[in-house]
Amino acid sequence: MLIHPIDFRYGTQEMKAVWCEENRFRCIISAETALVSALASCGLISQADADMVAENAPRASLARAKEIEAEIGHDLMGMVKALSEVSGEAGRFVHFGATSSDILDTATGLQLKEAFSVLEAKLQAFLAVLLERAEETADLLCMARTHGQHALPMTYGLRFAVWAEEVSRHLVRLSEIRPRVLVGKLTGAVGTLAAFGKDGMAVQSAMMQKLGLSDAGLTTQVISRDRYAEYIFLLANIATTLEKIAVEIRSLQRTEIGEVSEPFGKNQVGSSTMPHKRNPVKCEQVCGLARIVRSMVEPALLNNTLWDERDLTNSASERITFPEASVLTDHCIHIMTGVLRGLVIHEDAVACNLQYLQGVNLAESVMIEMTKRGMPRQDAHEIIRQASLNALALRRPLAEVLADIPAVTAVLSAEELRSLLNAEYYTGLAAEQTKSLIEKLR
């Protein structure tokens, strides 16, 4: 019986495969096998025994481990016994000198290593789509909004470029936290490596080298959870960027604005009762799931506040936070990549909205020019402010209202006013900034 929507509704196969029960089991077996190999490389057991465990490890099964767990009530020991059973005489060295967290935390490091690869590839693909859309619309003038109100002209290219640069920072963050998160440990029950004596550091180093992980340095019985909190926070940060983009698309798709539309399938149904509906459901889904990902941050932080050298309060929480935050963030990246790739831009509506205020949205350009020509900036601001309010109240073009103000016509001709109130005149370096970023990130 399926209960969690991740099982049947959300998530890509790539990320689900990382956190599935079978892969968790295989990562644990890999950690145990690497431990035995490290013991051999340090001369503590024979190479023949290490080879025996490695050769038989694929025969260890999750099903058998669960049978043993049902008898003894310990999940990790169930897996240890399942591996020992298939390893013959060499099975006596399985889990030698290790505590459960040595293996479990190291297995988590292996899973996170896989998750990082999936996330990096997905973010790179999403970034590529944003850069494509930025290049395509680098010169497409549109209305910018602040506080939900018309502000100044900008370009769609700049809007996409701002998002692209934000995503590029997440890729940098992913790279930066990699060495802090992709770690394992073999420090024993309280972090002293007592079981291996003087060989402890060498055995740990050999084990991690075989697994492609760094050692976690000083630990208690567990790896300090500040590392994992950093990972969960990165996922929350990425999910929030995706929500930010989704919120903007939802706003721009409002009927009254109508500048963009989510891709909509030929046979897609928007409403069970209103046949005309074309709702931004994908963006809405991302906004909803981002809330769940962000909710994982507090548990991740609290997982670091364990009693003494450890307690078990982190364990149940992490069984949920790691897979859910990873799968849902990856899912949101996948969804938004498709939305941005297929996003429809209605250029007629874009142009209509740009002209909607009949020049009032370009009032700043007139104020700046009047100041350049000698009028005090505050005086120019007040004149243009009152003129803009009159234009809005009377529903008249701002140019006509300004033409009736002697203080304005004394420094600006009618032709100059028309030029200043042309959106193409006042987009600054929007296109240049966009093209520069595209070149930089490609």
Active site residues: 147, 271
Q: Classify strands 141-146 and 183-184 as parallel, antiparallel or unpaired.
A: unpaired
Name the burial class of residue 274, with classes exposed (0-12), middle (13-18) and buried (19+) by CB atoms within 10 angstroms of its CB: exposed
Task: Classify 43 as helix, strand or coil.
Answer: coil
- Sign, CA torsion 298/299/303/307: positive
Q: Are 68 and 131 in contact (CB under 8 A)?
A: no
- CA distance linking residue 409 with residue 391, whole number of Å: 16
Q: Are 363 and 388 in contact (CB under 8 A)?
A: yes
- CA distance linking residue 240 with residue 255, whole number of Å: 25
- CA distance linking residue 273 with residue 257, whole number of Å: 24
Secondary structure (DSSP) of 267-310: T--S-SS-TT----HHHHHHHHHHHHHHHTHHHHHHTT--STT-
Nearest by Cα to 35 from 20, 49, 14, 16: 49
Q: Are 239 and 328 in contact (CB under 8 A)?
A: yes
- CA distance linking residue 205 with residue 106, whole number of Å: 12
- CA distance linking residue 10 with residue 286, whole number of Å: 11
Secondary structure (DSSP) of 77-139: HHHHHHHHHHTGGGGGGTTTT--HHHHHHHHHHHHHHHHHHHHHHHHHHHHHHHHHHHHHTTT
User: If you ran DSSP here, which 8-state letter would residue 44 be given?
Assistant: S
β-bridge partners, 153: 143
DSSP collapsed to 3 states, 368-405: HHHHHCCCCHHHHHHHHHHHHHHHHHHCCCHHHHHHCC
Q: Are 242 and 286 in contact (CB under 8 A)?
A: yes
